[in-house]
Amino acid sequence: MTAGEFTEFDRDVRLHVFRRAADTGVVPQLQEIAAVLGHAPDAVEASLRRLADARLLVLAPGSTAIWMAPPFSAVPTDFTVTSRGRTYFGNCIWDALGIPALLDADGLVETACADCGAPQALEVRAGAVRSGGIVHFSVPAARWWVNIGFT
């Protein structure tokens, strides 16, 4: 998407999605966005599609439901983040670690070892990971958008 294709309304939709996710841990969906912003659902749907085309969020396959507003997941995942007294879900470990960074807050990322299933926790304090662990990326970052749902 070029700057000319990205409208002020698209910016408003994007800001609402990310502010709501950051403030509550819940990624808003089309009907709520339309109601809060006072626009028709069709206009919001078109905006969500433009934002998805620009890789600023991810829609669930075959729908207009927001699946991911990176780093936030709209659905529960194996990457739970506790920060600012709220629970968030990251789409992957990269996004889970990005949530405290985006919030500019300390956080705890909890997941399980993909190999043995043992619980894993990474503490983020003052912008740095303060506990041990190994992070594995099965897909190189340059290829994440080939299949972002799998990545």
AA letter at 57: L
Number of domains in the chain: 2
The CATH number given to whatever domain includes residue 122 is 3.15.10.60
Q: Concatenated DSSP letters for 14-81?
A: HHHHHHHHHHHS----HHHHHHHHT--HHHHHHHHHHHHHTTSSEEPTTSSSEEEETTEESS--SEEE
Q: Are residues 104 and 139 in the same domain?
A: yes
pLDDT band at 95 (very low <50, low <70, confident <90, very high): very high
Residue 1 lies in a domain: no
pLDDT band at 149 (very low <50, low <70, confident <90, very high): low
DSSP 148: T
Q: Are residues 44 and 88 in the same domain?
A: no
Residues 13 and 44: beta-carbon distance below 8 Å: yes
The CATH number given to whatever domain includes residue 34 is 1.10.10.10
Query: Is the confidence at residue 1, as pLDDT, over 60?
Result: no
Residues 61 and 149: beta-carbon distance below 8 Å: yes
Residue at a domain's end among 38, 69, 100: 69
- Quote the pLDDT of residue 146: 63
How far apart CA 115 and CA 123 sit, in angstroms, is: 21
Q: Which residues of 53-64 are buried (b: 16+ CB within 10 A; e: fewer)?
A: eeebbbbeeeee
Q: Which of 45, 58, 54 is nearest to 13 (CA)?
A: 45
Q: Are residues 83 and 141 in the same domain?
A: yes
pTM (global) more than 0.75: yes
- Quote the pLDDT of residue 126: 93
Q: Are residues 53 and 89 in the same domain?
A: no
Q: Are residues 112 and 141 in the same domain?
A: yes
Query: Is the confidence at residue 141, as pLDDT, over 90?
Result: no
Express each pLDDT in 12-34 by its tens digit.
999 999 999 999 999 999 999 99
The domain in which residue 136 lies consists of 79-146
- Quote the pLDDT of residue 113: 85
Residue 2 lies in a domain: no
pLDDT band at 114 (very low <50, low <70, confident <90, very high): confident
Q: Are residues 109 and 61 in the same domain?
A: no
Q: Look-up: residue for tokens 């968030």?
A: 88
